[in-house]
Amino acid sequence: MPFKNPAGLYALLALIPFIFLYLRRPKPKEKTIPSLMFFIKEGGVTKFANFFKQILRNLLFLLQLAIILSAAFAIASPFFTSEKAAAAKHTVLVIDGSASMNALLSDGSGTRFGRAVEEASSRLEGRVSVVLAENIPVVALDKGTATEARKILSTLKAKATKTHIGDGMLAAGELIDDSSGNSRVVVLSDFQADEGTDAIVAKRSLAARKIDVELVNVLGSGSEGKEALKGLSNVGFVGLDINKFQTTALVRNYDDSQHKVDLEVMNNGNLVAKEQLDIGPRSVEPFSFGTVHGSTQLDILRKDDLETDNRLFVSSPVRKIRALLITNSDSSYLMAALRSSPNVELDIAFPPVVKAFNYDVIIIHNASSQFMLPGFYREINKAVMNGTGLVVTAQQVRQDLPVYVKQFDMPLELFGMGNSSRASVRIEGYLTKGVDFGVVAGYNVARPYSTDKFTSLVVADDNSSLLGSYSKGSGIVFYYGLLDDASTFKSSYFYPVFWDNLLSFLTRSEDIASFNVQTGRVEGISEQQVMTPSGRVKTARLFFDEAGFYTIGSKVIAANIVDKAESDIASEKALELASYDSTLLSAATTAKSEIEFGSQLAFAALALVLLELLLVKMRGDL
């Protein structure tokens, strides 16, 4: 047995004189006692008294021996080492808040997230921190009390994002500021569709800092986990493609049986479309409908074990672009394209009659310069300086284009006409990506004299600019150098789409994709009130972690979770994690401690002294 103060054992030397005194007996003296009959009569009593005294004398010896031993060992301070469960001074709960945690449990007792909260409530040791593991970790509580933790846990809800458990574990490690080995991280998840930092790597990183990690699978492990996955059913949206004209959603059947699935499209409370899909086992089917302006909701009308992926939201800007086409042609390919666009409110003016210039975009196409009044140029330039977009196209009458180049200060030099050429994309971007501009049989040889001011997007074989733009004041001026009558582009299905995109570009209207985002995105905005799917919040950093509509000022953004891995709620990936590293699912948290009992021995010695005094009193020596 180890001792804190081994020198205290020298007190045992007191046993030497103690034992010596007891071993030394006085020599008996012989005496003559005449009263023989008296002793015979009282013999029984005398023998009993002598026997009692002998017992007391031996008991006192043992007591005094125990007193000396207890006192000596108390001075030496003995102790022993014990391994026992260590009570954590700081517990960090990492709770999976991803979409799959909204799935129902197979026993009907609630959701996976509800089970995680129940498990977390039984692990509130020491100071408690809570991290909600979405695709970006969210700290819900930092070093609070158990009461505060219970209050926070009761308000938490699973979101509609992907899973990043490892990142949540590392975030938990950042909340722990000691390395004494008495901190603990408890992770509660279904461990499905995990992305980001690997959970095993995160666990070992924390273990290197002497932080104990316990990974709790809310589904159970081994045969229990497999049983929990049986009977789960889900049909959900796993893909979404949106453009200004058509919206296509992908619907996946995760079951082993075929399902007839009813879908419904609602726009601002009105039924837009309704259809039934026949989806085979483990199959995907597309569903398309025309994109409608405003806020649209698409629902799968089927109850299953994960409702989060049964609904999609689509937002399309309501405002149309007001465009003015100045032309002397009664009809043209351009006029037809603009009239066909659902996003354009078109007015046509035939010079010399142009009544107003307060439009988002002004287009000059096949307009005779002879009918353009001097005041027209002044008003158009003023409108462009204030933010109106201007398009000047190659004109049928060759003499008209130089006039417009001069009047609008376009940084171009004209060198007559060019012959047949390929229209090649020089800069790929919003207007040109994936677009084939075809071949031109004739074109104006136009070259920018200042590449700092003018950007050529599409060029001819001799590097003449066919499409390009430059900024003027608050507006943008665009040169469209393709003569439609001499170009194959007018017959392409890209043609109306290009013009629709061009007007959006000139008005700096955002692409419809910016109105529809994947959940998990964070966007910096000016601090303001934002209406989210769960209520109004004031923020300068908007986290799209719920599926639904977000209203920022006059702009409505739709956020959706479309992830085939999150929707695969019967996946056995979590069980594979357990088999890869079994220590992940149960980590014993133990600590070595030194237990001293010197003070107990001191109290024992004092008690023995009191007992000795009592016995001496009983013997009659006090």
Q: 414 phi and psi, to 5 degrees?
A: -105, 135
User: Which two tokens mark 611?
Assistant: 């007992």
pLDDT for position 576: 66
Q: Is 235 inside any structural domain?
A: no
Q: Which range, 145-154, 187-196, 409-418, is most confident? A: 145-154
User: Which two tokens mark 356?
Assistant: 């107003």
Q: Are residues 355 and 278 in the same domain?
A: no
Q: Which of 211-225, 543-557, 594-608 has the lowest mean pLDDT?
A: 594-608
pLDDT for position 619: 64
Instruction: State the pLDDT confidence band at 165, using cuts at 50, 70 and 90.
Output: very high
Q: Is the dihedral of CA 117, 118, 120, 125 positive or negative?
A: positive
Q: Which of 11-20, 378-387, 458-467, 546-555 has the lowest mean pLDDT?
A: 11-20
438: left (phi over 0), alpha (psi -120 to 50) or beta: left
Q: Are residues 336 and 298 in the same domain?
A: no
Over pLDDT 90: what percentage of the chain? Answer: 56
Of 285, 265, 290, nearest in space to 275 by CA: 265
Nearest-angstrom CA–CA distance, 551 and 74: 74
Q: Are residues 264 and 372 in the same domain?
A: no
Burial 281-295 (b: 16+ CB within 10 A, else e): eeeebebebebbbeb
Instruction: State the pLDDT confidence band at 610, using cuts at 50, 70 and 90.
Output: confident
Nearest-angstrom CA–CA distance, 380 and 82: 89
Q: Is 243 inside any structural domain?
A: no
Nearest-angstrom CA–CA distance, 235 and 261: 8
Higher-confidence residue of 78 and 400: namely 400
pLDDT for position 617: 72
CATH number of 143's domain:
3.40.50.410
| pLDDT tens sequence across 253-280 | 999 999 999 999 999 889 999 999 999 9
Q: Is 245 inside any structural domain?
A: no
Instruction: State the pLDDT confidence band at 584, using cuts at 50, 70 and 90.
Output: very low
Q: Which range, 27-41, 453-467, 574-588, is most confident? A: 453-467
**End-of-domain residue from the set 263, 292, 316:** 316
Q: Residue 342's domain spans which residues?
A: 321-489
Residue 375 to residues 323, 391, 600, Cα–Cα distance (Å): 19, 18, 108
Q: Are residues 98 and 134 in the same domain?
A: yes
Q: Which of 163-177, 501-515, 542-556 has the lowest mean pLDDT?
A: 501-515
pLDDT for position 83: 52
User: Angle, to 10 degrees, between the axis of helix 15-23 and the axis of helix 43-76?
Assistant: 170
Classify residue 449 by its DSSP letter: S
Instruction: State the pLDDT confidence band at 607, using cuts at 50, 70 and 90.
Output: confident
Contact 253, 238 (CB under 8 A): no
Please, what is the end-to-end C-alpha distance for the chain in angstroms? Answer: 39
Instruction: State the pLDDT confidence band at 589, using cuts at 50, 70 and 90.
Output: very low
Backbone Cα Rg of the chain: 45
User: Which two tokens mark 106?
Assistant: 């197979």
Nearest-angstrom CA–CA distance, 319 and 337: 19
Nearest-angstrom CA–CA distance, 299 and 385: 46
Q: Are residues 213 and 97 in the same domain?
A: yes
Q: Is 502 inside any structural domain?
A: no
Q: Is 25 inside any structural domain?
A: no
| pLDDT tens sequence across 13-58 | 777 787 767 666 565 566 666 655 555 545 444 554 554 455 555 6
Q: Are residues 373 and 293 in the same domain?
A: no
Q: Are residues 325 and 310 in the same domain?
A: no
CATH number of 455's domain:
3.40.50.880
pLDDT for position 329: 92
pLDDT for position 146: 93
For 476-490, the DSSP string reads: EEEEE-B-GGGBSGG
pLDDT for position 59: 72
Q: How many domains does the chain have?
A: 5
**End-of-domain residue from the set 264, 285, 316:** 316
Residue 316 to residues 142, 429, 457, Cα–Cα distance (Å): 40, 22, 28
Q: Are residues 477 and 533 in the same domain?
A: no
Q: Is 504 inside any structural domain?
A: no
Q: Are residues 328 and 466 in the same domain?
A: yes
Q: Are residues 343 and 477 in the same domain?
A: yes
Q: Is 494 inside any structural domain?
A: no
pLDDT for position 49: 53
Q: Are residues 220 and 132 in the same domain?
A: yes
Contact 403, 370 (CB under 8 A): no
Tell me the mean pLDDT in the region 510-517: 81
Q: Is 501 inside any structural domain?
A: no
User: Angle, to 10 degrees, between the axis of helix 222-229 and the axis of helix 573-580?
Assistant: 170
Nearest-angstrom CA–CA distance, 106 and 265: 30
| pLDDT tens sequence across 334-391 | 999 999 988 899 999 999 999 999 999 999 999 999 999 999 999 999 999 999 999 9
User: Angle, to 10 degrees, between the axis of helix 494-506 and the axis of helix 333-340?
Assistant: 70
| pLDDT tens sequence across 73-110 | 778 777 666 554 456 789 999 999 999 999 999 888 89
Q: Which residues pair with 379 in a beta bridge?
A: none
Contact 99, 113 (CB under 8 A): no
pLDDT for position 189: 92
Q: Are residues 181 and 282 in the same domain?
A: no
> Strand 361-364 and strand 389-393: pairing?
parallel
* Strands (DSSP E) found in 302-434: 311-316, 321-326, 344-349, 361-364, 389-393, 412-418, 421-422, 424-425
